[in-house]
Structure 1
């Protein structure tokens, strides 16, 4: 596990974008795992700038998103499908057929999760998985639990996660209570993992991830066992290290 401590959110975003860009340059047909939320927004802006300046080309890239809210339609501005298009996909030359995001409106959740896993495996697996981290140590929507959930599955969101995500909605009552998420096993099968964090609110989670025991109560702690993890944290998020 390599830990990079940077000054602030802007520096974190640029470093993350350059690592992703390097992956694309070295392997133009990379399989990339993308994340949503407030943390990656400026990283995606930087990737768009690199694309517009001719540094990177997304035409051969295939993407898989970590998660999607359950029973939230793609055209809902708070869906992760909408988020990815607004913040990245609509501004680069990625092929629509190479974009993969769980279908939150599926009428067969077991089949949707199984097919998502199958698609990832058939694509050859994730080359680089981008991760944010929740205040409770969740990655994707893998919440603290009694065991690590392996594959893509339906998650009941913790109250803490619902409260944290309510800033994107008009009220906490509008936040979906369930989501489809890659499992811990899905994430750990990625060849390389890039986790980034910003702000004092993530300091405890980063400390527990890096220095705490490996436990499903802190899902991100499992990353200690992955052979190729880079964590980029600004000074506030790394303040307890």
Structure 2
């Protein structure tokens, strides 16, 4: 590369699929990543978007015992064992269906008496595992990535984050009332996510269309945290027609 030139990362690869095809397509990408290393590291997301992926992985019959798994985030303020804690969601959707050793699935510790120290320890665990090879992602209606809400630093690391009212309203369906939805979480930062070797974003439904357009076609901005996808260079987006309608 000659002096004065800038190497731009490759644009995200976008595949628009029928809803029934998203899980199998995502599963193939994850299985390829699992086969690429002796001890692969997969970053996992929760929520409705990646659920078809996990069902497809469970149906694949593959052996997942050689991998380590790191969650994107976890609520702060829920008691241990709460059914909507991400520890429990991962147990139901990933650990038990895939036959994983629970010790191979890692989350930031929301019950620590020192949350910033727990966040730093999580970053150290990811680094000790060799870094994340493939990070699975969803996207929030307001463009959040993991629980990185609009306005935050684009190079942030794992930290405590206050959840926006839009995010809490979107997650209200999992709780008895809005008052029961946590106000804070621990989340991997945008800088942490960008460190992963490959990113896989799954987006479904018309309520994600504007956020996906802003993430992939708008400026890289704190107003849309998911716009950092444009900075990575190895991003695959699997979306249904409704989510991709504005691309």
Q: TM-score range by the shorter chain?
A: over 0.9
The answer as to whether partners of 1:60 and 1:94 remain within 8 angstroms in 2 is no
Taking the aligned partners of 1:206 and 1:150, their CA distance within structure 2 comes to: 21
Task: Name 2:87's counterpart in structure 1.
Answer: 81
| Aligned: 1:32 with 2:38 | no
Cα deviation, 1:139-172, whole Å, max 9, x if unaligned, reads: 1000001532511000000000000000101111
Unaligned stretches of 5+ residues in structure 2 = 1-11
Distance 1:19 1:89, change over 3 A: same
Distance 1:146 1:114, change over 3 A: closer
Secondary structure of the equivalent of 2:16? strand
Count residues in correspondence: 236
Task: Name 1:194's counterpart in structure 2.
Answer: 200
The answer as to whether partners of 1:139 and 1:219 remain within 8 angstroms in 2 is yes
The answer as to whether partners of 1:28 and 1:58 remain within 8 angstroms in 2 is no
Cα deviation, 1:51-98, whole Å, max 9, x if unaligned, reads: 2xxxx2111100100000012233100000000000110122322222
| Aligned: 1:6 with 2:17 | yes
The answer as to whether partners of 2:151 and 2:223 remain within 8 angstroms in 1 is yes
Taking the aligned partners of 1:197 and 1:29, their CA distance within structure 2 comes to: 28
| Aligned: 1:215 with 2:225 | no
Taking the aligned partners of 1:94 and 1:25, their CA distance within structure 2 comes to: 16
The answer as to whether partners of 1:60 and 1:95 remain within 8 angstroms in 2 is no
Task: Name 1:126's counterpart in structure 2.
Answer: 132
User: How far did 1:99 drift?
Assistant: 1.3
The answer as to whether partners of 2:84 and 2:174 remain within 8 angstroms in 1 is yes
| Aligned: 1:41 with 2:55 | no
Secondary structure of the equivalent of 1:88? helix
Which runs of at least 4 in structure 1 moved beyond 4 Å after TM superposition?
none
Secondary structure of the equivalent of 2:171? helix
Unaligned stretches of 5+ residues in structure 1 = none
The answer as to whether partners of 2:158 and 2:192 remain within 8 angstroms in 1 is yes
Taking the aligned partners of 2:23 and 2:66, their CA distance within structure 1 comes to: 23
- Bigger drift between 42-51 and 216-225 goes to 42-51
User: How far did 1:28 drift?
Assistant: 4.6
